[in-house]
Amino acid sequence: SHSITLSQQHPAPHDSVPRVPPSPAATGSDEEDDSDSSTKPIRSEKKKNPVSLFQTGGNPPKEKKTKKKAPPKAAESEEDTPQQNSNKKGKGKKSKKAKEERPPSPVIEVDNLEEFVLRPAPQGVTVKCRVTRDKKGMDRGLYPTYYLHLDNDKKVFLLAGRKRKKSKTSNYLISIDPTDLSRGGENFIGKLRSNLMGTKFTVFDNGANPDRANADWSNVRQELSAVVYETNVLGFKGPRKMTVIIPGMNSDNERVPIRPRNDNDGLLMRWQNKNMDNVIELHNKAPVWNDETQSYVLNFHGRVTHASVKNFQIVHGSDPDYIVMQFGRVADDAFTMDYNYPLCAVQAFAIALSSFDGKLACE
């Protein structure tokens, strides 16, 4: 099985962590499982088109739009199988096969980096990425830099993020240049800010602070997402509970801009006040307790290989089979991060960064 441990109450037997098929002999069942996982979104689509789950403004998508989705979908199912089988980046005997089958992944064209990282994932395509954490250097131990790349042959760089040093609360800058993580630079694309407790986070784009608004507010920053972590009975020791709040999509499948004029109007306040116009609430998928390994497990279809409390999948309550985003560890300082419509790279990366934050880190 591809289930992966999230957090263990006490050390589990050695083999219970990654559960990666050891040899090509296991591939038969492996592929079956994968093809099933890649058809899942399609099957649930008949039940309920995932796109409609995220629509808040305007009319349902017109017939024309739905047809556009067909080509990427085919590409996705081809692309899905090899990538999911090539656990650990295709080491071992499977890598050759994965290499041959992998050409479909350039479906994702990063033409203009700044546009790409703010654009929702194409419908029916899973954007597969890799997050690496760099702790080297003077204060990187405390302020590591995180890099996001596409998880394909070209390893295209997408984003870098780092915590600001002089900030009262956790504050991460996100940049489209791996070497320039300054707030004033033209590569600044967004930021993640936490509350004092370190349990609630808001993700902004690179617009202006409301104090510096122009006459029609068009330059004011948008809130792209908010993340709320709930402690459970065990503190943060058991499975974490996450709520992710994102702007809804309009009838053209574009993100509804949410530009709060003050702190009482942001995504978190709207969610707390149950004012959910143009706002979508998502949650992490609850893991299942496994008696055999004495741990909580989730099925990541071969994309996650190490146990970690940071591993999570984000879903919409009305369709838990449609994974909006998943994140999980594949090495000490490497993680996979996959996201689907309606998320963009900046939203997904910022949600992933929030899971690294100090107050939550209990590993």
Determine contact, residues 298/308, Cβ cutoff 8 Å. no
Question: Is 131 a domain residue?
Answer: yes
Which is higher by pLDDT, 331 or 81? 331
| pLDDT score, position 360 | 52
Let me know if 49 is exposed, middle or buried by CB neighbors in 10 A (0-12, 13-18, 19+). Answer: middle
Which is higher by pLDDT, 240 or 361? 240
Q: Specify the long-range contacts of residues 133-136, CB closer than 8 Å, at least 24 apart.
A: 133/333, 133/334, 133/335, 133/356, 134/333, 135/333
Amino acid at 176: I
Mean pLDDT, rounded, for 68-80: 34
Determine contact, residues 112/156, Cβ cutoff 8 Å. no
Let me know if 282 is exposed, middle or buried by CB neighbors in 10 A (0-12, 13-18, 19+). Answer: buried
Residue 176, pLDDT > 90, answer: yes
Mean pLDDT, rounded, for 233-247: 77
Q: Which helix (H) or strand (E) holds 334?
A: strand 334-339
Angle, helix 70-85 to helix 94-101, in steps of 10 degrees: 170
Residues paired with 325 in a beta bridge:
314, 339
Of 136-150, 296-310, 344-358, which has the strongest mean pLDDT? 344-358
**Residue written as token pair 């608004």:** 213
Let me know if 107 is exposed, middle or buried by CB neighbors in 10 A (0-12, 13-18, 19+). Answer: middle
Question: Is 103 a domain residue?
Answer: no
Total domain count, the chain:
1
Which is higher by pLDDT, 52 or 9? 52
Mean pLDDT, rounded, for 151-168: 89
Q: Specify the long-range contacts of residues 267-276, CB closer than 8 Å, at least 24 apart.
A: 267/202, 267/223, 267/225, 267/226, 268/200, 268/202, 268/226, 268/228, 270/245, 271/226, 271/228, 271/243, 271/245
Q: Which helix (H) or strand (E) holds 101?
A: helix 94-101
Q: How many residues does the chain have?
A: 363
Of 32-46, 165-179, 314-328, which has the strongest mean pLDDT? 314-328
Residue 90, pLDDT > 50, answer: no
Please list, in sequence order, all residues whose beta carbon lies within 8 angstroms of the beta carbon of residue 119, skipping any fewer than 6 positions away: 344
pLDDT tens across 283-323, in order? 999 888 888 888 888 889 888 988 887 899 999 999 999 99
Question: Is 239 a domain residue?
Answer: yes
- Residue 193: both structure tokens together: 């800010």
CATH number at residue 264: 3.20.90.10
Phi/psi region, residue 17 (left: phi>0; alpha: psi -120 to 50; beta: rest), is alpha
- Residue 353: both structure tokens together: 């960064």
Mean pLDDT, rounded, for 270-286: 94
| pLDDT score, position 75 | 33
Let me know if 362 is exposed, middle or buried by CB neighbors in 10 A (0-12, 13-18, 19+). Answer: exposed
Determine contact, residues 297/4, Cβ cutoff 8 Å. yes
Question: Is 179 a domain residue?
Answer: yes
Residue 140, pLDDT > 80, answer: no
Determine contact, residues 12/295, Cβ cutoff 8 Å. yes
| pLDDT score, position 353 | 95
Question: Is 54 a domain residue?
Answer: no
Q: Residue 136: give the domain boundaries.
A: 114-356
Question: Is 77 a domain residue?
Answer: no
Let me know if 142 is exposed, middle or buried by CB neighbors in 10 A (0-12, 13-18, 19+). Answer: exposed
| pLDDT score, position 297 | 85
Amino acid at 208: A
Spatial CA neighbour of 324 closest among 307, 301, 348, 302: 348
Mean pLDDT, rounded, for 54-69: 49
